[in-house]
Amino acid sequence: MEEIISYNNVLAIVLAYLIGSVPSAVWVSKWFFGVDVRDHGSKNAGATNTFRVIGKRAGFPVLFFDILKGWGAVKGFSYLFTTYELGSNQFVNLQLAIGMAAVFGHVFPIYARFKGGKGVATLLGIVLAINFPAAAVSFIIFLFTYLISQYVSLGAIMAAFFFPFVTIFVFKAQTPSLIYFSIIISIMVILTHRKNIERLLKREENKMPIKGKN
């Protein structure tokens, strides 16, 4: 039984990585607009740079798909391959492992020479799948920050910073791995935005007005 469980877990994690590796920003920009977003703007293969370089017509589909990668991998593979009791600590641990594999795939996609995005949208999908209330509050923080500042990066940083506090103190998470996960992804998102933080401090970060490109 242990071998079957181990095999199922590994298979779920590998498939999650492959799903996360789908470089939606690169494929959408190239196939439908004849542009590689990695050659423009921040040169990041993510939704934010897609919005900045091409506009809403490409940005929204990329954003939706990147979120879906995280949400779908966790929801689909954890239920399809698990032999654990739903809601148990083992089940939550498997969901977290699957989710992180999807994020790793987004950041280091096998289909795009391991050069991907920062994984924020995919992380949002994971949190929506595992801890929806905390994800909803974090999204509100992101939206509020963005609407005031018009900096997407600042919104992501603020949402990531407050996510562990929301998880631990507002919704009082009891599962240790979920608590550690909230702290780790907060640190990870902030670290991946360190260049943005430098530009924000120097007031050199590009704003993304609400009424941007169509």
Burial of residue 177, with CB atoms counted within 10 A of its CB: 0-12 exposed, 13-18 middle, 19 or more buried: middle
Quick: pLDDT tens for 93-127.
999 999 999 999 999 999 988 888 888 899 999 99
- In percent, the amount of the chain with pLDDT more than 70 equals 96
Residues 6+ apart with CB under 8 A from 174: none
Q: Residues 189-211: what's their mean pLDDT? A: 89
Residue 65 falls within a domain, yes or no? yes
What are the pLDDT digits (tens) for 47-81?
A: 989 998 999 899 999 999 999 999 999 999 988 88
206 assigned to some structural domain: no
> Does residue 209 fall inside a structural domain?
no
| pLDDT in the model for residue 84 | 85
CB atoms within 10 A of CB 47: 28
Q: Would residue 207 count as lying in a domain?
A: no
Residue 212 forms part of a structural domain: no
**Percentage of the residues of the chain whose pLDDT score is greater than 90:** 69
Please give the structure tokens belonging to residue 27. Answer: 């494929």
- Measured distance CA(51)–CA(42) in Å, rounded: 11
Supply the pTM of this predicted model: 0.86
If one counts the domains in the chain, the total is 1
Q: Is the pLDDT of residue 172 over 50?
A: yes
Phi, psi of 118 (to 5 degrees): -90, -15
Question: Given pLDDT bands bounded at 50, 70 and 90, which one contains residue 201?
Answer: very high
The CA angle 169-197-107, to the nearest 5 degrees, is 80
Whether 210 is covered by a domain: the verdict is: no
Where is 44: in which H helix or E strand? none
Residue 17 within any structural domain of the chain:
yes
User: What is the domain extent for residue 118?
Assistant: 2-201
Q: Do residues 164 and 131 lie in contact, with contact meaning Cβ atoms separated by under 8 Å?
A: no
Whether residue 174 lies inside any domain: the answer is yes
What average pLDDT does the structure give for the chain?
90
**At 189, is the secondary structure helix, strand, or coil?**
helix
